[in-house]
Structure 1
Amino acid sequence: MTGWVVVVPVKGSTESKTRLAAAWTTEAGLTGEQRRELALAFALDAVTAIAAAADVREVIVVTGDAVAAVALAALGAHVVDDPGAGLNGAISAGIAAARLRHPDAMVAAMTADLPALTPADVDDVLRAAAGHPLAFVADEQGTGTTTITAAPGVEVIPRFGEQSAQAHADSGMFRLAVRPGSTVRQDVDTPEDLDRLRGGFGPHTSALLTLRR
């Protein structure tokens, strides 16, 4: 095992998590700045869990947001500037940086909206992925993607977006049989997701939700 480098794209803008606009109980709903704050809390918890996984050598964060860059660098992440080509462009930039820094490493990309993520679940997924040149993890609904992985030297093209699980499968990636309920599958996009996972979030998200309720 050569170890893993994990790329995490962090949007870091007031346009983050628009479907969470009604997540906090205020007359005006959730503002753009509050969504940005919540998305950063998600990312902080996700990166903390990934960095604590036994098989992870380094976390590379891709962001164009200065506040997110400082906060995530403080957790030990290596920060790469977002090229501004959307989510897939950010992931591709992170993978390119990972391969320059660690040519012998397995590479993964995980979404930042995994605030309930645990190091044990990260290790379970990475160990399962190690036997495949390219692999992915579908979200709990089975249609989206939370994670893609690639062996050293294997070309990987991220296809995040609508129906990304099918797009990744069609591209030849192996769909990992990750157990239902794994925190690697628990991305948060809606207020219903927040309610469903309440009590299982990392400290940054838990503290922010407690403060805002």
Structure 2
Amino acid sequence: MTGWWVVVPVKDARRGKTRLAGVLDDAARTALVRSMALDTLAAVLAAPSVAGAVLVTADRDLAAAAPGLGVVPLDEPAAAAATHAGEAGLDAAVLAGAAHARGLAPHAPVAVVLGDLPRLDPTDLDAAPASAAGHARAHVPDAAGTGTTLLTASTGRTLRPRFGAGSSHRHAAAGHVRLDVPRSSSLRHDVDHPADLVLLAGQDAWPSALPEK
């Protein structure tokens, strides 16, 4: 099977993870968003099933770092406006990234991995697309079971992103089958809330994801 192309959407770091504003100052929060994105991208590229990756972002620092990592950068506002003007926010960025990936590899299956998985293990990432290969569309929920960390579409299929609060239910309703991925999988552990940050701080394997204050 053709290797997966992965779309990683990341907000401008200065506007990302606002729910952490109560525990991190602006500089620390910005550094965290960028660090998590870089850790996520490194894990994505280390997965043998991944053929390539597209970073969709308005963050200039991340976009500048992408080519050196072997990632294709795509400017979020311009791409979303030109490709999917009827969509909004993250969904528009996802669709623009997927369209760009398909332009580079027309026959590749595509996946979306959110850029806030700093503990992502490439082995865990490989396991999910292998399970998704039997479905036209699939998704992996976050550890809480309500959000979404991975969205997939097989060759010839288009993504139907429904990101936001309660996205797992909406993705299932849109035809993205929920994959049976263990809750312990690193693929399900994103960083959204202060409690997630506490867990991240206890992971000695990922010190780079914690900004200095």
Q: Is 1:59 aligned to 2:53, yes or no?
A: yes
Q: 43, 49, 53: which one pairs with 2:43?
A: 49
Equivalent residues of 2:13, 2:34 under 8 A apart: no
Q: What SS does the aligned partner of 1:74 have?
A: helix
Counterpart CA distance in 1 for 2:192 and 2:156 is 33
Counterpart CA distance in 2 for 1:115 and 1:59 is 16
Q: 138, 150, 155: which one pairs with 1:135?
A: 138
CA RMSD of aligned residues (A): 1.4
Q: What SS does the aligned partner of 1:123 have?
A: helix
Counterpart CA distance in 2 for 1:138 and 1:49 is 18
**Structure 2 counterpart of 1:192:** 195
**Code of the aligned partner of 2:131:** A
Q: How many residues align?
A: 203
**Structure 2 counterpart of 1:205:** 209
Equivalent residues of 2:147, 2:168 under 8 A apart: yes
**Structure 2 counterpart of 1:8:** 8
Q: What SS does the aligned partner of 1:136 have?
A: strand
**Code of the aligned partner of 2:190:** D
Q: 180, 205, 208: which one pairs with 2:183?
A: 180
**Code of the aligned partner of 1:205:** A
Q: Which runs of 4+ in 1 moved over 6 A?
A: none
Q: 75, 79, 85: which one pairs with 1:81?
A: 75
Question: Could you tell which deviates more after superposition, 81-90 or 52-61?
Answer: 81-90
**Structure 2 counterpart of 1:102:** 105
**Structure 1 counterpart of 2:19:** 19
Counterpart CA distance in 1 for 2:40 and 2:178 is 22
* TM-score of the superposed pair, with normalisation by structure 2: 0.90
Taking only the aligned residue pairs, the percentage that are identical comes to 44
**Code of the aligned partner of 2:46:** A
**Code of the aligned partner of 1:199:** Q
Q: Deviations over 1:173-198 (max 9, x none)?
A: 11000011101100101121011232
Q: What SS does the aligned partner of 1:113 have?
A: coil
Q: 124, 132, 135: which one pairs with 2:127?
A: 124
* TM-score of the superposed pair, with normalisation by structure 1: 0.90
**Structure 1 counterpart of 2:171:** 168
**Closer, same or farther in 2 for the Cα pair 1:128/1:157, shift >3 Å?**
same
Counterpart CA distance in 1 for 2:43 and 2:206 is 8
Quote the offset at 1:23 in angstroms.
3.1
Equivalent residues of 2:4, 2:50 under 8 A apart: yes
Gaps of 5+ in 1: 25-29
**Code of the aligned partner of 2:206:** G
**Code of the aligned partner of 2:166:** Q
Counterpart CA distance in 1 for 2:207 and 2:12 is 19
Q: What SS does the aligned partner of 2:12 have?
A: coil
